[in-house]
Amino acid sequence: MTDWRPGAAPARAARARLLAGLRAFFAARGVLEVETPILSRGAPQDPMLESWEAQAPGGERGYLQTSPEYPMKRLLADGAPDIYQIARVFRGGESGPRHNPEFTLLEWYRLGLDHHALAREVVALIADQAAQSPDWHAPRGCEAIAYADLFRSTLGVDPAETNAAELERVAGDHGLVIRGGLDRDGWLDALISLVIAPGFPPDRLTILFDYPESQAVLARPCADRPGYAARFELYWGDLELANGYHELTDPVVFRSRRKRDIAIRRARGQPLPPADRHLEAALEAGLPDCAGVALGVDRLLMRLLGVSRIDQVIDFPWA
């Protein structure tokens, strides 16, 4: 017989409590809840994300959002105040112990903040949620470190000045051999995910800030660190929870990065979904100075409950 039973009963009430707690956190800080469409006509060109395609019987096509970033930035360009959203997002080909192709993303934007100040707010949010129940796990301590400093201190290399072949050798020294050719960014990702992050203390929050400009996505270039972008990621133990930017507002830089992304997609034979033209126009009209972050709600729940697999907190996982 088909196993019809939902699989995450022990996490069900905790999820409801967390969602209510997140809303209370933002209500207390005067951040406005918004909703934007899940289905859109265009998709981001980021070569590291694949969008799910949707098609209506009449032939009309759309894409399920990989994040609510684009429409939320259009709200900001339209004069919206600080905003947040608890959104369902979809990512093609992402399935595993810590990935479900459909998941819950908490995304918020703060006017006038930079990525350092926003990262501190993420830490405050996690502490606030962890305090909701004596049964929930709370992180112990937090360390902020620049991406470049982390590579120097753990692997002895400067990520901006090390090429793919040298990074491959460094990986080999740490017992990591990978099949399939990787470029410099691929090796940097491999070293972070498979060598460095597994060594983060399990209860500690780690804020990794100022990423190489080749991994800037939509973060603005760092004013004080040439070659790097104002992006941060937050880990709880070795689990990546959030990714944030001091947002790129320059439409010229936006266009040149999109051009590079499309070139990469073309070279790798990845699908080329139509671009969303509205964000570009919104940037032209003027996105206010702001910082934004997206946090995986399912993963935060995993850590709060001390469970190791995402299907322990999702009643109806895809896989």
Q: Which is nearer to other proteins, 130 or 164 (CB)?
A: 164
Q: Which of 9, 56, 177, 223 binds other proteins (CB under 8 A)?
A: 177
Q: Which is nearer to other proteins, 226 or 269 (CB)?
A: 269
Distance of closest approach, residue 235 Cβ to other proteins, in angstroms: 10
Return the closest-CA partner of residue 80 out of 40, 38, 36. Answer: 36
Tell me if 45 sits within 8 A of 66, measured CB to CB: no
How large is the C-alpha radius of gyration of the chain?
20
Q: Is 93 in the site for other proteins (CB under 8 A)?
A: yes
Q: Cα-flanking dihedrals φ and ψ of residue 208, to 5°?
A: -105, 120
Q: Is 144 in the site for other proteins (CB under 8 A)?
A: no
Q: Is 89 exposed, middle or buried (0-12, 13-18, 19+ CB in 10 A)?
A: buried
Beta strands across the sheet bearing 290-296? 32-33, 83-90, 102-111, 290-296, 239-246, 228-236, 205-212, 142-146
Q: Which of 36, 95, 132, 154 binds other proteins (CB under 8 A)?
A: 95
Distance of closest approach, residue 96 Cβ to other proteins, in angstroms: 3
Report how far apart the first and last C-alpha atoms of the chain are (Å, whole number): 18
Q: Is 46 in the site for other proteins (CB under 8 A)?
A: yes
Q: Which is nearer to other proteins, 77 or 219 (CB)?
A: 219
Q: Which of 210, 233, 276, 298 binds other proteins (CB under 8 A)?
A: 233
Give the binding-site size for other proteins (rule: CB under 8 A).
Answer: 32
Q: Which of 217, 282, 291, 301 binds other proteins (CB under 8 A)?
A: 217
Q: Which amino acid is at 234?
A: L
Helices (H), 58-163: 69-77, 115-130, 147-155
Tell me if 167 sits within 8 A of 212, measured CB to CB: no
User: Rule CB under 8 A: which of 285-314 touch other proteins?
Assistant: 294, 296
Q: Which is nearer to other proteins, 192 or 314 (CB)?
A: 192
Q: Is 49 in the site for other proteins (CB under 8 A)?
A: yes
Distance of closest approach, residue 32 Cβ to other proteins, in angstroms: 25
Q: Is 213 in the site for other proteins (CB under 8 A)?
A: no
Q: Which is nearer to other proteins, 33 or 183 (CB)?
A: 183
Instruction: Supply 166's token pair.
Output: 């040298």
Using the contact rule CB under 8 A, the part of the chain among 34-42, 174-182, 221-229, 246-254 near other proteins is: 174-182
Tell me if 294 sits within 8 A of 105, measured CB to CB: yes
CA distances from 168 to 247, 252, 292, 309 (A): 32, 34, 33, 30
Q: Which of 180, 224, 252, 267 binds other proteins (CB under 8 A)?
A: 180
Q: Which is nearer to other proteins, 142 or 195 (CB)?
A: 195
User: Rule CB under 8 A: which of 181-210 touch other proteins?
Assistant: 181-182, 185-186, 188-190, 192-194
Q: What single DSSP character describes residue 96?
A: B
Q: Is 243 in the site for other proteins (CB under 8 A)?
A: yes
> Looking at the DSSP assignment, which residues form a beta bridge with residue 142?
205
Give the dihedral sign, CA 159/160/162/163. Answer: positive
Tell me if 122 sits within 8 A of 244, measured CB to CB: yes
Distance of closest approach, residue 205 Cβ to other proteins, in angstroms: 16
Given the rule CB under 8 A, which residues bind other proteins?
46, 48-49, 93-99, 176-182, 185-186, 188-190, 192-194, 215, 217, 233, 240, 243, 294, 296
